[in-house]
Amino acid sequence: MSDNIKTVKNATCTFCGCVCDDMELTVDLDAKRITKAKNACVLGRAWFAEHTIQDGPAAMIDGKEVTLEEAIEEAAQVLTSAKFPITYGLSDTTCEAQRQAVAITDFIRGSIDTTTSVCHGPSGLAFQGVGESTMTLGEVKNRADFIMYWGGNPAESHPRHFTRYTVTPKGMFTPNGKKDRTVVLVDVRKTPSTPVADIFLQVKPGKDFELAWAMRALVKGHKVDSSIENETGVSLEVLEDLVQRMKNCNYGVLFMGMGLTMTRGRHFNSGAIMALAADLNEFTHFVAKPVRGHGNVTGADNVVSWQTGYPFGVNFSKGYPRFNPGEFTTVDTLSRCDADAALIIASDPAANFPQAAINHLGSIPVVSFDTKETATSKLAHVAFRTSTYGINTGGTVYRMDDVPITLRPAFESPFPSDEDILTPLRKRVQEIVIGKSKAKGAGAGVTRAASPVK
């Protein structure tokens, strides 16, 4: 280890949606790596420890190194000549970069979608249908005495969720920590999270909706047949007892995991949980919240929402935003072979999308932004290598409870940030679009101001 060491206090881990902002990083500036991450969980420690700068060109066209300017020009040409361009990803970058991406999509009249559409998008749909009774995690820590996780395994996916906010911390109205709380877990199998729970309900796979629906009926005072046990695997007595506890608590929270949104029923499953929370507000204070995965996926929802009015699956082809998940969401636009160019930022759809979508992605020009080589960057026509947010780049990210948090980077990267490239790309796109519309003459309608950008 060299002597060139610095410590960064109150740094932020952007690995999962908890976005813990109490990291103390020890950085070896010569080796350009983080040697210690105090306060981080196993996932966080791995995230910081594994971060090294990979050598490679900052910009490539068809696998050949080019200058940033050439790559930006090519990307701008590809995107502005497309008839149905799509922008996708955005969950692992800063809000500042996301904002530029929305502006670009607006100018090129494309569709913008984030990884929300393949994780908690259904919950986003459910918000619209049912409404959201919400909170911040600080409130949960200080007030909640009934916590229920449904379809998630935070011990492995969000290791510090229990210890920072929901189970063990001592809060203003929960001075004895875990003793003051009832923790319930609903899942299809036992997981490492199960031991934390005071009550564990093992629901039959694919029966979450039925279980939530039966609970709603009980909350509303309707009779439920004892055959519910056969149907869902949870007995009526257990459910009745649980519903009593929920009604009698002072502040209840329902956390939704991807076990709900990615199984049969999707938005109706999360909708049922949100409706359950709404029903319980007849008796006590109850809130529901999705446990978001990727670092800044919540920021992506927020930025896309405040710039377009909708959280994901937004299309600008008519010049104004239209929202229609299923039509403008990326898996669908790719699988139906609708898209004719793609701008993929900080995401690897070529590795995790359905095969039909990957095949189409391989057949159209792709502009990719990645911190390392990925399946997507390999098939990209224009590939940018960027620095990692939170480690090399500052900016803003949103925690899963919609609280914005400022990043404190640890050391510099030789690569530019996503925002550093997206901003000139947005400017170039803007020039081309305005030039084209002027050439067409007044009234072409494309000179309309896009989202406010610096």
Partner 1 sequence: MSINLTLHTSPEVPLEAEVLCTDKLIGLTGSEIEKLPVEHGNRQVSVADFFTVKGSPDDSISIEGDLSKVKHLGAAMASGKLTISGNVGSHLGAGMTGGKILVEGDAGDWVAPEMQGGSVEIKGNAGHLVGSAYRGSPIGMSGGEILVHGDAKNEAGHAMRNGIIVIGGKSGDFAGVNMLAGSIFLLGETGIRIGAGMKRGTLVTMSKTSMLPTFSYSCRYQPAYLRMYLIYLQELGFSVSDEQLFGFYHRWCGDAIEMNRGEILAHDF
Q: CB of 95: closest distance to partner 1 in angstroms?
A: 24
- To the nearest 10 degrees (0 to 180), the angle between helices 95-108 and 297-308 is 40
Strand segments, DSSP code E, in 140-250 are 146-150, 182-187, 199-202
Identity of the residue, 179 or 223, whose beta carbon is nearer to partner 1 in the bound complex: 223
Stretch of 48-56, 137-145, 263-271, 396-404 contacting partner 1, by CB under 8 A:
263-271
Give the contacts of 22 (CB within 8 A, at least 6 positions apart): 10, 39
Helices (H), 109-207: 121-130, 137-143, 154-157, 161
Q: Is residue 286 a contact residue for partner 1 (CB under 8 A)?
A: no
Contact pick of 31, 43, 236, 337 for ligand SF4 (by CB under 6 A):
43
* CA nearest to 343, candidates 152, 89, 27, 100: 89
- Least distance in angstroms from the C-beta of 403 to partner 1: 25
Minimum separation from the CB atom of position 396 to ligand SF4 (A): 15
Q: Of the listed pieces 14-22, 253-261, 362-370, 382-390, which binds ligand SF4 according to CB under 6 A?
A: 14-22
Closest C-alpha to 189, from 233, 238, 219: 233
Distance between CA atoms of residues 319 and 158, nearest Å: 39
CA separation for the pair 18, 399 (Å, rounded): 6
**Residue 294 interacts with ligand SF4 (CB under 6 A): yes or no:** no
Q: Is 230 in the site for partner 1 (CB under 8 A)?
A: no
User: What residues form DSSP beta bridges with 38?
Assistant: 24
25, 27, 40, 422: which one contacts ligand SF4 (CB under 6 A)?
40
Q: Whose structure tokens read 């995690």?
A: 137
Judged by CB under 6 A, does residue 311 bind ligand SF4?
A: no
8, 20, 186, 234: which one contacts ligand SF4 (CB under 6 A)?
20
Q: Does 158 bind ligand SF4 (CB under 6 A)?
A: yes
Applying CB under 6 A, does 18 fall inside the site for ligand SF4?
Answer: yes
CA 337 to CA 321: how far, in whole Å? 21
Two tokens, residue 87? 């922008």
Using CA atoms, how far apart are residues 288 and 133, in angstroms rounded to an integer?
Answer: 6
Decide: is 274 part of the binding site for partner 1 (CB under 8 A).
no
Pull the structure tokens for residue 260.
């709900």
The bridge status of strand 33-38 relative to strand 146-150 is unpaired
Give residues 332-361 in contact with partner 1 (rule: CB under 8 A): 338-340
Site map 383..422 versus partner 1, x via CB under 8 A:
----------------------------------------
Give the footprint of partner 1 on this chain (CB under 8 A).
82-85, 108-110, 125, 128-129, 209-210, 213-214, 216-217, 220, 222-225, 227-228, 231, 264-265, 268, 275, 316-318, 323-327, 338-340
